[in-house]
Structure 1
Amino acid sequence: MEATTPGPLAAGLLEREDVRRALAEHDFASAFALIKKYSGLSQNRMASACHLTPGKVSAIINGHQQVTSFDVICRISDGLRIPGRLLGLAPRDWETRPGQEDALPQMEDERPSTDDEVPWRPDATVDLAVKLTRSDLVMDRRAATRALAGAAITGATLLDPLEGWLQPAGAAPRPRRRGQLGPREVEELEFTARAFRAWDHKYGGGLRRKAVLGQLSEVAAHLDEHQTPQVEQRLYQVMAQLAGTAATMAWDTGLQRRAQNYYLLALRASHAGGDMVLGANVLAGMARQMLYRDQPRDALELIRLAQDGARHVAGPRVRAMLHTREAWAYAAMGRTAAFRRTTDQAAEALTDAKPGEEPYWIAYFDEAELAGTTGGRLLDLARHNPKQHAEAAATEIRHALAKRGPEASRSHALDRIGLAQCHFLLGDVREAVKETHRAVDAARTTRSGRVRAQLGDLYPYTVGNSAARPVREARDRIRDLLAT
């Protein structure tokens, strides 16, 4: 169904009290049956409109399957042109733009450049930064919405061009313009990059992304001039930090392909700046993106590339972080023994960490972060085997909550959501409801898209217990937040 086509429902159907009641309660078995009865729509037509299979619609109508996915509820709203207010959603796009063509501006090709297109030379890295920031800074909100559909690339298309990271940087022609930057100006740029990174780590992507891009564009302009070798090296490192922050912000707001482009720019900039440890951190970020995209094998290859490149220069915190990414990939592949082995390696490496001995950007990786990451991966395993892993997951997540507190806004919210899921898996509904309310409260403090996505994953746990009033109230709070 295109967003500009009229709704397929018969006139007046949505005014019926029984239909409105079923929709408000998310009773889609009754709602679909009533729509089928009074509108004359076939199950196949409803399935096509809502981008569902006919078998799924049949199972819903017959009461064999509940609609628990927030994404599916949105598809039903959009496909059947049911106003958001009837389903507890915010107004949908088609409600705010009636009769308008959904013609978004064409964006540049979102494919990350291949190794042949952008060689591993410093000047090519500057050109890539200029291209990315120029297009991104003029991209309006409607174009950004279209970019959400851009999926991250995977497999050899992603991995093969990254091999250049392990090779020395190629020679580049010198710029014609003489730069004027000195150590003090570079220190100011480094301070700004650090401040943006801290803001993103606490709150998530969103409001400050274009400010980061503006700073990144300025750094690229300075690198297009002839700076001293020492200034140039530090500028490339600043570019890598800003590009990495831009990548996580883009990813956090759902711009997957654009995030991948900025990760690639960050990797190239760290390479040009001779910072293999920062490059390993960028590869770890790319691996995390692959893990969230259910590509654990690609993630594992990225981590191994990072470990190979930084093997002799990475400190204990960086090594521990890389081991947790490795463990995450093993957990996603169902390799429990390998997960436990690499988690133990992470804990062992972290015991050697000392304050102030590693770059500032890895200082966040402490006992709390290790516990939170381990708890999240145990929760992944618990979804398939609750009896074996759910209690262990809850213990690790509680440890993370006790160590880092609510000031770590995004991580705190993710911990709360994970703990609520643990209690649902353990059958402790009372504690699950308490944690769900705390999770919603925590989620309101951040604009992170990842937090909202995880809250959407928590929503189905509340549907199966809909008869209990406390669970219903918790479910309504999740729905209210996700609908805004």
Structure 2
Amino acid sequence: MGGNGGTGADKRPNAQLGSWFERSGWSKGELARQVNRRARQMGAHHVSTDTSRVRRWLDGEQPREPIPRILSELFSERFGCVVGVEELGLRAAHRSPSVSGVDLPWAGPQTVSLISEFSRSDLMLARRGFLGTSLALSAGPALIEPMQRWLVPAPAGPAGDARPAAAPDRSKRATQLSQPELDLLEATTVMFRQWDAQCGGGLRRKAVVGQLHEVTDLLQESHPERVSKRLFKIAAELAELAGWMSYDVGLQPTAQKYFVLALHASKEAGDRPLGSYVLSSMSRQMIHLDRPDDALELIHLAQYGSRETATPRTQAMLYAMEARAYASMGQPSKVKRAVRMAEDTFADVSPGEPEPDWIRFFSEAELNAENAHSYRDLAYVAGRSPTYASLAHPVMERAVELFGKDDVHQRSYALNLIGMATVHLLQKEPEQCAALARQAIPLAKRVRSERVNTRLRKTVATASRTYEDVAEVAQLGEELSQALPETAPEAV
């Protein structure tokens, strides 16, 4: 059965769905095949869609869940932006806020419960980001307004007062966590972060989610205030990392929910800089989804919330992300100002200053990478402007040089090789583009990152369309198809 929900003779063609469908370039048969494949991945084996069913949807028939959610996900991925169920002219099923929403209560017990519930569901299902059939991306005011409550002061009283009222199970050692045990939990988070940078989000995502779930078990016990805050900080870092890994492998709704939960946990930990880092990850996701206005709102919220507590390295990272948002909006003067602020602030970084592990990734290489991508994005927004491409070139080249000496951040090295290839494309240098993209292929094979694979394929596809007669480009396309054949995504 295909999920038929429409009845009556007064159906009208679904113009909204029809518009997205026409622009997608898909045939009815291809869309039906993608819906069936995605349904199988999420365990909805009862869904069996065909060309005639797709035609009825376009004619105005309202499909039952999970079809609307699947279509929203497919079109969002196709266009690189949030395409909600309502934007497709479809009716959304009622969704439980605890599972799908981002407007969640800002209180310790609920935060613990929500992280526990969500991580458990993720571990049980782990199907393309679908937790049941109800998970959806939020954007615009529905996302920004709830996140602004991050700045609202927490209720008075120690963090320990916010623990669940139920009597704790005294048989668990968690009630007497020692300093070495807490140190080990933090060291494990650092290790997971290194694995992500080196191997991509697809290799250890489930392990991170599992560790996060274990920490929420600890948080349901009674602890002294300092221990509770430290556990919330660990939970926030793990939730952010689970979100980042989900984002890296293409599970966008799942990533967003983890980011939101991480922000809640960072508030319980009383760690404003960590919260600003979580917001920067959310901003990066919004840029990826072509929502630069939302990205900018999130970055400004992060900057305002941590202006008195963030280190120069964190502030520089936020300025660099602000530049990325302005670049996607096509505002060159604001891009240049933010890039300059990022560079000037980074110059204030003291090598010996103690900093949390989560910000250590923002090195000179990363600073150059972000600023180069800002200029590169400006070039595209400005109609493939050679002026901005020339600004991007030396900065991206420096990022590639620095990442080439780094054995840990292999995904960043791959992404910047691809970024350098796109700069050469903008400068109408197909041979150089092919050479850089070819260097990225073995890295892409080693790093389990859908972002790397997608960007590499898009860059090579663009080069092939534009320079199909250039031998190096034609050969590159064949090499890529053999090295990274497109297959159905795996559950992670």
TM-score calculated relative to the size of structure 2: 0.76
| Residue 483 of structure 1: aligned partner | 486
| Residue 368 of structure 2: aligned partner | 371
CA shift for structure 1 position 52: 5.6
CA shift for structure 1 position 482: 4.5
Count of residues paired in the alignment:
408
| Residue 460 of structure 1: aligned partner | 462
Q: Distance in 1 between matches of 2:420 and 2:359?
A: 25
Pairing 1:274–2:270 present: yes
Find the residue that maps to 2:446 and give its secondary structure. Answer: coil
Pairing 1:135–2:137 present: no
| Residue 387 of structure 2: aligned partner | 388
Q: Deviations over 1:171-200 (max 9, x none)?
A: 625552141212221111111111111211
Q: Deviations over 1:222-242 (max 9, x none)?
A: 110001111111000000000
CA 162–140 in structure 1, closer or farther in 2 if over 3 Å, else same: closer
CA 466–109 in structure 1, closer or farther in 2 if over 3 Å, else same: farther
Aligned pairs for 1:251-400 within 5 A: 251-355=247-351, 356-383=353-380, 384-400=383-399
Q: Deviations over 1:353-401 (max 9, x none)?
A: 1234221211111211011111112111222243211122121111001
Instruction: Tell me, yes or no, if the aligned pair for 1:267 and 1:279 is still in contact at 8 Å.
Output: yes
Residue identity in the other structure for 1:113: G
| Residue 27 of structure 1: aligned partner | none
Instruction: Tell me, yes or no, if the aligned pair for 2:102 and 2:138 is still in contact at 8 Å.
Output: no
Instruction: Tell me, yes or no, if the aligned pair for 1:243 and 1:262 is still in contact at 8 Å.
Output: yes
Aligned pairs for 1:89-128 within 5 A: 101-102=46-47, 112-115=100-103, 118-128=104-114
| Residue 65 of structure 1: aligned partner | none
Find the residue that maps to 1:447 and give its secondary structure. Answer: coil
Instruction: Tell me, yes or no, if the aligned pair for 2:430 and 2:470 is still in contact at 8 Å.
Output: no
Structure 1 unaligned spans of 5+? 4-47, 57-70, 83-91
| Residue 474 of structure 1: aligned partner | 476
CA shift for structure 1 position 202: 2.5
Aligned pairs for 1:428-467 within 5 A: 428-458=429-459, 459-467=461-469
Pairing 1:176–2:167 present: yes
CA shift for structure 1 position 254: 1.4
CA 169–95 in structure 1, closer or farther in 2 if over 3 Å, else same: closer
- CA RMSD of superposed structures (Å): 3.2
Structure 2 unaligned spans of 5+? 4-16, 50-64, 70-94, 488-492
Find the residue that maps to 1:399 and give its secondary structure. Answer: helix
CA 203–181 in structure 1, closer or farther in 2 if over 3 Å, else same: same
Residue identity in the other structure for 1:357: P
CA shift for structure 1 position 425: 1.8
Q: Distance in 1 between matches of 2:287 and 2:366?
A: 17
Q: Distance in 1 between matches of 2:468 and 2:375?
A: 27
CA shift for structure 1 position 147: 8.3
Find the residue that maps to 2:310 and give its secondary structure. Answer: coil
| Residue 230 of structure 1: aligned partner | 226
Q: Deviations over 1:57-91 (max 9, x none)?
A: xxxxxxxxxxxxxx96xx46962999xxxxxxxxx
CA 258–109 in structure 1, closer or farther in 2 if over 3 Å, else same: farther
| Residue 161 of structure 1: aligned partner | 146
Pairing 1:79–2:30 present: yes
CA shift for structure 1 position 94: 11
TM-score calculated relative to the size of structure 1: 0.77
| Residue 9 of structure 2: aligned partner | none
Instruction: Tell me, yes or no, if the aligned pair for 1:148 and 1:256 is still in contact at 8 Å.
Output: no
Q: Which is higher, the Rg of structure 1 or of structure 2? A: 1
Instruction: Tell me, yes or no, if the aligned pair for 1:416 and 1:442 is still in contact at 8 Å.
Output: no
Instruction: Tell me, yes or no, if the aligned pair for 1:175 and 1:225 is still in contact at 8 Å.
Output: no
CA 158–140 in structure 1, closer or farther in 2 if over 3 Å, else same: closer
CA shift for structure 1 position 140: 4.3
CA 199–257 in structure 1, closer or farther in 2 if over 3 Å, else same: same
Pairing 1:152–2:161 present: no
Instruction: Tell me, yes or no, if the aligned pair for 2:100 and 2:136 is still in contact at 8 Å.
Output: no
Q: Distance in 2 between matches of 1:201 and 1:235?
A: 23
